[in-house]
Amino acid sequence: MSDNHEPEKISIPNGRQGLIAKIAEKAVKTNSETILGIGDDAAVINSGNLRTLVSTDMFVEGIHFNLVYTPLKHLGWKVISAAISDIIAMNAQPKQVMVSIAVSNILMQSQILEIYEGIHLACNHYHVDLAGGDITSAMRGLTICVTAIGTAKEDDIVYRNGARPTDLICVTGNLGGAYMGLQLLERERSVFESTGVQPKLDNNDYILRRQLRPEAQIELLDYFKKKEIKPTSMIDLSTGLADELMNLCRASDMGCEIFEERIPIADETKKMAEEFGITPVVAALNGGEDYEMLFTIELKEYEKIKDNDFFTLIGSINTADKGSYIVMNDGNMMPLSDSFNSSN
């Protein structure tokens, strides 16, 4: 090959979502039991009276977690919480998980068992069965793969593509805490490695817990049943609010309007964001790993949810031609995209 030739550069629109779309184009369903494959939080499989939902998540050391500051038991808990969030996002009940681990000789057997201790704790907490998996060697680092399995009646399943104009946009919990917890941990790691000064983590339990030991929003399923509400669309917040809201809008071919003043952000998160010189709403929009639920419900359901303290109404769905934007506290309307940042 001539030295003048360079490898062809592949351009993928919309980053990760664009790559997934290209893979989905070539994925052909040959089995009638496969109702939905690639494109939502979980696949949907016809298994008789109920539908089986299956989702897989990969957690790679150095990308998704850092063993320097991540307790192994917390890591086990976190991977289960993250994995079953995909099932919950389909309005389905998580039932089983399969956990596979590829690990190098960096960890001893006792440390691997510590990860599984966290996995067992999470499974017991969420009433989910650890139904199998695999453990194998790796050349370097640690990788954990979790397959989550759940069930739901066909009519109860909620997809991303069901949002319609005038639907209310709601989000559970508070946002940005996990991101600010990560910023704190990374800062203290850097200081320790360069100076040997011990980490200063006091009085930051909330944001550290949000990062290291997140909770899956499984109680939301019971709330919907009690109130006799079925969301029109739903997605879990594994990445930031802006990214996931745009994923939902793209799937539904809709636009949206949300309000900065309505986005729920805990005081502890605001305090740490200000310490880092980050606008709190930017942490909420761009930060990930909150594992809260973002969903839409019909306007007619407002009376049922108006007094709840479980989730917050942050905006509404518009037609696609009206665009997607956030109304800032000063009244300015800023275009909302999955690249929203403090410089917008």
Cα–Cα nearest to 261, from 313, 216, 307, 224: 313
Question: Any residues with CB less than 8 A from the CB of 270 and at least 6 apart, and which?
Answer: 280
- Please name the CATH architecture into which domain 15-156 falls: 2-Layer Sandwich (3.30)
- The pLDDT confidence band at residue 26, using thresholds 50, 70 and 90, is low
Fold of the 160-335 domain: Phosphoribosyl-aminoimidazole Synthetase; Chain A, domain 2 (3.90.650)
User: How much is the mean pLDDT over the chain?
Assistant: 88
Residue type, 124: N
pLDDT at 322: 95
pLDDT at 158: 98
The residue whose two tokens read 């592949």 is 10
Residue 77 clears pLDDT 90, i.e. is over it:
yes
- Single pTM value for the model: 0.85
The sign one gets for the Cα dihedral 47, 51, 52, 57 is positive
Backbone angles phi, psi at 34, to 5 degrees: -80, 105
Higher pLDDT, 109 or 272: 272
pLDDT at 198: 87
d(CA 194, CA 23): 42
> Do the two domains 15-156 and 160-335 of this chain adopt the same fold?
no
User: Which ranges of the chain would DSSP assign to H, the alpha helix?
Assistant: 15-26, 72-88, 109-126, 177-195, 205-212, 219-227, 241-252, 267-275, 280-286, 302-305
pLDDT at 265: 98
pLDDT at 17: 64
pLDDT at 7: 37
- The pLDDT confidence band at residue 32, using thresholds 50, 70 and 90, is low
pLDDT at 131: 82
DSSP secondary structure, 22-65, as one string: HHHHH-----TTEEE-BTBSSEEEE-SSSEEEEEEEEEEBTTTB
d(CA 157, CA 58): 24
Residue 344 clears pLDDT 50, i.e. is over it:
no
Residues β-bridged to residue 145? 58, 100
The residue whose two tokens read 């990560």 is 182
For 183-207, the three-class secondary structure string (H helix, E strand, C coil) is HHHHHHHHHHHHHCCCCCCCCCHHH
Residue 11 clears pLDDT 60, i.e. is over it:
no
pLDDT at 316: 98
- How open is the CA angle 249-250-252, to the nearest 5 degrees? 65
- The pLDDT confidence band at residue 303, using thresholds 50, 70 and 90, is very high
Give me 9's structure tokens: 């550069």
pLDDT at 135: 85
Residue 24 clears pLDDT 70, i.e. is over it:
no
Domain ranges of the chain: 15-156, 160-335
pLDDT at 22: 63
pLDDT at 341: 52
d(CA 241, CA 293): 10
- The pLDDT confidence band at residue 4, using thresholds 50, 70 and 90, is very low
- The pLDDT confidence band at residue 50, using thresholds 50, 70 and 90, is confident
Residue 87 clears pLDDT 90, i.e. is over it:
yes
- The pLDDT confidence band at residue 109, using thresholds 50, 70 and 90, is confident
- How open is the CA angle 292-295-301, to the nearest 5 degrees? 130
Residue 200 clears pLDDT 60, i.e. is over it:
yes
Question: Any residues with CB less than 8 A from the CB of 289 and at least 6 apart, and which?
Answer: 82, 178, 179, 182, 210, 211, 214, 238
User: In this structure, how many other beta carbons lie within 10 angstroms of the beta carbon of residue 86?
Assistant: 27
- The pLDDT confidence band at residue 117, using thresholds 50, 70 and 90, is very high
HSE value, Cβ hemisphere, 13 Å, CA-based, for 182: 17
Confirm if 66 and 53 have CB atoms less than 8 A apart. no
Lowest mean pLDDT, pick from 104-118, 168-182, 240-254: 104-118
